[in-house]
Amino acid sequence: MATHAGFIPENPSTNEYAGVLAALRVVVKRCADNSQSFLFETGQETPVTLLRVIEDLGGENVGINLDPANLLMYGKANPVDALDVFGKYVRDVHAKDGEYPVGGRFLGEEKPLGSGRVNFPAFIKKLKTIGYDGPITIEREISGEKQRQDILKAISTLKELIG
């Protein structure tokens, strides 16, 4: 199961963090009981916060669904650098591109793969370096012919980068 768990508090000393962790323990245990993994989709938290909550949960069935564009669009991290923090926990990857926010009240804009700030050549190289060999799922959150064209271009780009 991959999901956004909400906005996990950055400060682990707060009651809010303890409450979120308690709720997550219930869900993670249920997933383990069902032989399922629980993956945090990146976006709302910094890489350090995700690493902390995974360490605090301590389950072997816990990992990360890495959406590199979300890290940028929420203004949380550079996705290539984020791999240095939590790379060993990455179990699934989205191929999506985006921009940092340009104002304080809105997310950054999603872009076609290769048109945003995700450095996909460096990102794919770093994934290979950390030994990631799992799925890379193209995600383009628009509809219609433009979505189809962007996905076809993304396939071509990823084939070149992955080899």
Condensed to tens digits (0 to 9), the pLDDT of residues 54-98 reads 999 998 999 999 999 999 999 999 999 999 999 999 999 999 999
Torsional class of 35: left (φ above 0), alpha (ψ -120 to 50), beta (otherwise): left
- Tokens coding 114: 């290769």
Q: Are 123 and 114 in contact (CB under 8 A)?
A: no
CATH number of the domain to which 146 belongs: 3.20.20.150
Q: Which amino acid is at 154?
A: A
Q: How far apart are CA 58 and CA 34, in angstroms?
A: 17
pLDDT for residue 14: 97
Q: Which amino acid is at 16?
A: E
* Overall pTM surpassing 0.75 (yes/no): yes
The mean pLDDT value for 20-30 works out to 97
- Tokens coding 143: 């509809």
Q: Based on the structure, what is the number of domains in the chain? A: 1
Domain span holding position 73: 2-162
